[in-house]
Amino acid sequence: MTCAKTIVILTVSLMCIHCSSDDDAGPNFPGSTENEVSLLFNGVDGHGTAGDISSTLGNPVDVFTISIWFRAMGAPAADATMLHLNPEFETGRNSMQVRLYWSSPTQVAFHVTPDFEGDPGATLTAAVAEPQEWNNLMLTFDARAASGNVAMYLNGDPVDSGDQSTTLTAVGNIVFARAGADANFFHGYLDEVAFWDSRLGSEEIKAVYNEGKPKNVRFDIPGYESANSVKSLWRMGDENFTGEENVSDLVGGNHFTIVGGGTFEPETP
């Protein structure tokens, strides 16, 4: 094959990849494919189990941002948990824990510790005025920061921060809508959950919140240029390719299985 032919073939291949990407993004490119469904958990036994934390965030974990959209059905029960990393205490209770849960019917709490048994870590809270409407939380952790290593943003605004600079040893898996073994189930909707292996700044967090209309964070948008550091993205039924029993991770391949009462619903922020 001549050099010229090789270049032509390569060029055509690259053009096809580009076309395919644009098609996938839909008519509102950049930054959006339609968000048409979310995942409703029944609060009785419904939850989702993804794979190892390390397959999304690497190991050790020294920096992340998490975005999660949620809407409670009824008053959230105390300790109802929306997201839990290492809920099974793999390697024992002196191992990492990251948990986002309801500490009261109108307050969410975010706990990060490298050692559940021996280190209180940081627990941040946010008052949620309307739990039964759609809300967005963004959670950041950066062990390298001098202070304020853990921070919490509600609907685009900073609400709390704390100091917890110890790197986490990634053990255990990522679970949605449940804590521990069959306890503290969350009754409500979760949508558009994303993990980055970087800390997003306040302007980027506002851009992702987008005044209450989630953007597809696989694509950069004005004010947000961190698409390349998204490691997992679960759109809760949109762009799903793993079937009705599962939620596809569109970036990292860390798909999760729906266990018990969890259904895709046409209800989105």
Binding site for Ca ion (CB under 5 A): 35, 191, 235-236, 238
Min CB(49)–Ca ion separation in Å: 19
Q: Among all chains, which residue has been given the structure tokens 């048409």?
A: 36
Min CB(32)–Ca ion separation in Å: 12
- The nearer residue to Ca ion, 215 or 235, going by C-beta atoms, is 235
Distance CA 46, CA 40 (A): 9
Min CB(191)–Ca ion separation in Å: 5
CB-based contacts of 59, cutoff 8 Å, min separation 6? 53, 169, 170
- The nearer residue to Ca ion, 141 or 196, going by C-beta atoms, is 196
Q: For residue 178, which of 59, 55, 261, 250 has the smallest C-alpha distance?
A: 261
Whether cis (ω within 30° of 0) applies to the bond prior to 76 is no
- The nearer residue to Ca ion, 29 or 89, going by C-beta atoms, is 29
Min CB(234)–Ca ion separation in Å: 9
Q: Kindly report the backbone phi and psi dihedral angles of residue 210, in degrees, each rounded to the nearest multiple of 5, phi listed first.
A: 55, 45
- The nearer residue to Ca ion, 70 or 116, going by C-beta atoms, is 70
Q: How far is CA 94 from CA 23, 88, 168, 169, 172, in A?
A: 47, 12, 11, 11, 12
- The nearer residue to Ca ion, 134 or 141, going by C-beta atoms, is 134
Q: How far is CA 229 from CA 57, 86, 218, in A?
A: 10, 22, 9
Min CB(54)–Ca ion separation in Å: 25
